[in-house]
Amino acid sequence: MTRVSEHLNQALHDLMEADPRVHVLGEDVSDPYGGAFKVTRGLSTRFGDRVRSTPLSEGALTGVGAGLALAGDRAVVEIMFADFAALAFDQLVNFAAKSTSMYGRPVPIPLVVRCPSGGNRGYGPTHSQSPQKHFIGVPGLSLFEMTPFHDAGELFARMFALGQPCLFFEDKVLYTRRMYSGGVVDDLFRYELAGGVARVFLDGVTEPDCTLIAHGGMTHRALAAMRELLLEEDLACELLVPARLHPLPGLPGLERARHVCVVEDGSEGGTWGAEVARLLYPRLWSTLRRPIGLISAADSVIPAAPHLEREVLVQPGRIRHTIVEALS
């Protein structure tokens, strides 16, 4: 069994070994600490100066990564908590993303900014956010998210091949979960990967009652809801988990679903889900029977106390309840 954090760590080892142009930068990423979530463990011991623990300067360290990329190298930057990506907004949006096109020709900026995101760990308002929505729609900036289905090494290769800065969100709870393999999720659900999208399905069900669309960090809460919906409500659901959140890849099979619902951990208003729905409406207009459902965290800061945090963030019970209500 491989945990997601171990899988990411191995992917970074492989990446740095295979390509001497790759640098890793971030706060506390060097050994023996190996990063706040241990995802960079062992890298500085093996790769020396190509791995740098930096001062607490998210803006500049993102800019340094962009400079390395501009000069022909490749950079993986770690922002310790995704909330702090706000400190790097200028470098990401005004420099790295714009520079890929504002000089009148494609300028490659192979830069991956890793952002441990999400709550349910009791870290409180400034260490728990899923800020994906703030970076959607920036020309030249792509958003990816780690999932328990996708090979991280392939994702790093894809992101670097784009030649554009990419934010790579990694849900902090996901770190502790295992990677799925062999097409099997559990006793009920199977999965397949197609076109960069993981499709989780029930064997033999071709016309699901509901297809959920979620980002990687929402996978397990969506699965828990799907299990309850099947066993207790007799509703069969599929789940689509794209690794690339923006621009969104084509999502398979939605025409056959009775209902489509996007689930995310970002706060309500101006959400990723609304963007997904905007893209899907023209395609699904003739087959949709009801509006695409949007489930997101409350319009609220994320409290520290566990009982308060649970109320704000999306939990399986809320997904189940919302879908039952939509289909009743």
Partner 1 sequence: MIVTVPTPAGMRNAPSPPADEDLELLLLIRHFELTLLRLFEAGELSGTTHTCLGQEYIPVALKPLLQADDHVFSNHRGHGHFLARHAEPYGLLAEIMGREGALCAGVGGSQHIYHRRFLSTGVQGESLPVAVGVALTLKGSGALACAYIGDGTWGEGSVYEALNMAQLWRVPLLVVVENNGIAQSTPTSAQMSGDIAARAAAFDVLHHRMTSTEVDEIRAELAPLVAVVRGDGRPLVAEFVTHRLGPHSKGDDTRPPEEIARAGDHDWYARYARMFPDPFDRLDRERRELVERIAAEVTARPPSVWERR
Catalytic sites, residue numbers = 127
Stretch that binds partner 1, among 86-94, 273-281, 296-304, 316-324 (CB under 8 A): 86-94
Which CB, 32 or 55, lies closer to partner 1?
Answer: 55
Assigned token pair, 199:
């499709």
Which CB, 51 or 174, lies closer to partner 1?
Answer: 51
Residue from 19, 46, 94, 290 in contact with partner 1 (CB under 8 A): 94
Considering the complex, what minimum distance in angstroms separates the CB of residue 24 from partner 1? 13
Residue from 3, 13, 33, 107 in contact with partner 1 (CB under 8 A): 107
**CA dist list (Å): 212 to 1, 232, 327:** 26, 18, 13
**9 within 8 A of 35, measured Cβ to Cβ:** no
Which CB, 116 or 140, lies closer to partner 1?
Answer: 140
The DSSP call for residue 74 is E
Which CB, 99 or 211, lies closer to partner 1?
Answer: 99
| Residue whose tokens read 């025409």 | 255
Q: Is 48 in the site for partner 1 (CB under 8 A)?
A: no
Q: Which residues neighbour 319 within 8 Å (Cβ) at sequence distance 6 or greater?
A: 212, 221, 222, 225, 261, 263, 295
Q: Is 59 in the site for partner 1 (CB under 8 A)?
A: yes
Strand-pair partners of 170: 116
Residue from 5, 91, 128, 147 in contact with partner 1 (CB under 8 A): 91
H helices within the chain, ranges in order?
A: 4-18, 43-47, 58-70, 89, 98-99, 152-162, 219-233, 272-284, 306-312, 316-327
Considering the complex, what minimum distance in angstroms separates the CB of residue 9 from partner 1? 24
Is beta strand 22-26 parallel, antiparallel or unpaired with respect to 51-53? Answer: parallel
Considering the complex, what minimum distance in angstroms separates the CB of residue 181 from partner 1? 36
The DSSP call for residue 148 is S
Stretch that binds partner 1, among 101-109, 215-223, 237-245, 296-304 (CB under 8 A): 101-109
Question: Which residue ranges make up the site for partner 1 (CB under 8 A)?
Answer: 23, 52, 54-55, 57, 59-73, 75, 90-91, 94-95, 99, 101-107
